[in-house]
Amino acid sequence: MRQPYPRDYNFAAGLRLMHDPLHSLMPKLRRIFIVALGLGVLWLPAKPALADFSIVAGKSVLSGNTINTSAKLNLAITGEPEVALSKGIGLTLVIKSHLYRASLASWYFKIGEWEDRLSLEHHSLSNRYTLTNLNTRITQDFATLAETLDFLERYTKAVTLPSGVSASDALQMRLQVSLSRSDLPGPLKLVALVLKDWRLASDWERWKVTIP
């Protein structure tokens, strides 16, 4: 038989006692949910910005002991990167070249790699743009950003054939161009991890190394 409550039992007080622990727990649960949501956003797979950086065409020709590569790059810098550039924050473009050789099983193995790093800056006093090859320290000067990117459209590079590689080997050159987010200033580097405007990178394009 169910026992009756004592006459002096306060139902309202009892409900408050049950509600208070739940109420005090809610802010903690909300904080945990917000932190988890934030981490989830940061770990979402990054999708590259479409058509901002691409390699339209390319070829590599072996002449003697030198591979001469030429490629047509299609580069567009808009949105947040363009705003940052106009405010004096330099951008670093990276062009990577990888050389592969086919094995007996027709698999390709990387046998050489090279990297060109280009520093793009805007100078407010002269209202001009400069492009510096950080490997050679050669600087080019341009009136507009469009002229700078047009200059980069025609990319050429000459590299020496690695030792132990024969001209008769089946060789393949692979090329990619990207914006280096690791070279951005500290606070901006964190923002660039999230905003898709900063995810500027072409696909890896490949073609055979030919002999004239």
Query: 152, 133 in Cβ contact below 8 A?
Result: no
Q: Would you say residue 29 has pLDDT above 80?
A: no
d(CA 63, CA 161): 10
Domains defined along the chain, listed by start: 53-210 (2.60.40.2060)
51 pLDDT band, cuts 50/70/90, is: very low
How many CB atoms neighbour CB 71 within 10 A?
A: 22
CA-wise closest residue to 184 among 77, 96, 95, 93: 93
Look at residue 86 and tell me whether its pLDDT is greater than 70.
yes
Output the pLDDT for position 83: 95
16 vs 124, more confident? 124
8 Å CB contact between 78 and 164:
no
Helix/strand/coil for 37: helix
Percent of all residues in the chain with a pLDDT value above 90, rounded to a whole number: 67
pLDDT at 109 over 60: yes
* Alpha-carbon dihedral sign for residues 184, 189, 193, 196: negative
CA distance 133 to 135: 5
Whether the predicted pLDDT of 66 surpasses 70: yes
Give the residue-averaged pLDDT of 18-34: 47
Nearest to 158 by CA among 70, 63, 95, 68: 68
Tell me how many degrees the CA angle 92-74-198 measures, rounded to the nearest 5: 45
Higher-confidence residue: 137 or 37? 137
Instruction: Find the mean pLDDT for residues 60-71.
Output: 97
